[in-house]
Amino acid sequence: MNILVTGGAGFIGSHLCDALISENHNLTVVDNLILGRKENIEHLQNHPNFRFVKEDLLDMATIDNLFADSAFDAVFHMAANSDIQKGGKDPVVDYELTFMTTFKVLQCMRKHNVKQFIFASTSAIYGETNDLLTENYGPLLPVSNYGASKLACEAFISAFCANYGIQAWIVRFPNVVGERFTHGVIYDFIHKLKKNPNELEVLGNGEQYKPYVYVKDLVNGILFVWQHTSEKLNVYNLGVDSRTKVKEIAQMVIDAMGLNARITYTGGDRGWIGDVPEFRYDLAKIHHLGWKAERTSNEAVRLSIEKALEIIK
């Protein structure tokens, strides 16, 4: 298939490109290289099925031209603000990078008759609750601009599917870890310990307890859902059953770096504005479909620390 991957030079997007290329699809990547990195896709540059276009999705005229010239069969829309903390400080970040990019891509798809849309959504749309999060959970009251903008996207995707002959796959991710990440708790801990190997300051009380999925498992799951479902709109939680506490991650990073650092806590039940300290994902729907993550949350965290240390060293 002829596929557009937006944000394809980013953390998750570039792993998705690897997987799609290995399945013989023809890829165009659009990325403005603000959050994405050229290095993430360097190994694909000379592949005959791969094309990289450095453009900004907010530049509607350029993107419209790209759609007009390309006859895409499907769009994997991975472009978004991925930094929840940054979006908490300025709502325009999530509004522009997450919501507006999605709205503009949907408009281009409608205009140029592109039929399949695969969307990177998030557990953050569910807001903060102790309930088990099924795909049909309500109410949806996000506590971060990140979650709000993703829910806003889902809303328009749903309406575009209902009215304009677009078929969509909404896949809701938990925390994702692995090679090429650009931020997040593991990344932060490694960088803090590089600066000060004797002490690691953890934001919050360290009890934040969430599922972490390994990026290659995640990409494998996205493609599985896309290839095994065919409703007009297909909505799936994707993740791991298990969870890892932030204080466990802190210790794993210290151990992996061979340090003996003291862990301190800033206190409070969460790391930052918009952080959801704890959530439980119901994965019955995707398991029933026949997919399960290979690695547990702890395995994903441990592997990601290893891989990160190989590169950062």
Q: What residue ranges bind a copy of itself (CB under 8 A)?
A: 88, 91-92, 95, 99, 103, 106-107, 110, 125, 127-128, 135-145, 147-149, 151-152, 154-156, 158-160, 162-163, 233, 235, 273-274
CB of 257 to a copy of itself, least distance (A): 34
Query: Least separation, in Å, of the C-beta of 124 and a copy of itself?
Result: 9
Nearest to 155 by CA among 114, 121, 129: 121
- Residue 109: what are its φ and ψ, rounded to 5°? -60, -45
Q: How far is the CB of 144 from a copy of itself (least distance, A)?
A: 6
Q: Which CB, 14 or 98, lies closer to a copy of itself?
A: 98
Nearer to a copy of itself, 26 or 107 (CB): 107
Residues ≥6 apart with Cβ < 8 Å to 258: none
User: Which C-beta is closer to a copy of itself: that of 88 or that of 211?
Assistant: 88
User: From the CB of residue 2, how many other CB atoms can be counted at a distance below 10 Å?
Assistant: 14
The encoded tokens of residue 260 equal: 């003996």
Looking at beta carbons only, is 151 or 200 nearer to a copy of itself? 151
User: CB of 218: closest distance to a copy of itself in angstroms?
Assistant: 21
Closest CA to 12 of 205, 242, 220: 220
Taking the C-alpha atoms of residue 182 and residue 33, their distance in angstroms, rounded to an integer, is 12
Phi-psi region of 185 (alpha: psi -120 to 50; beta: other; left: phi over 0): alpha
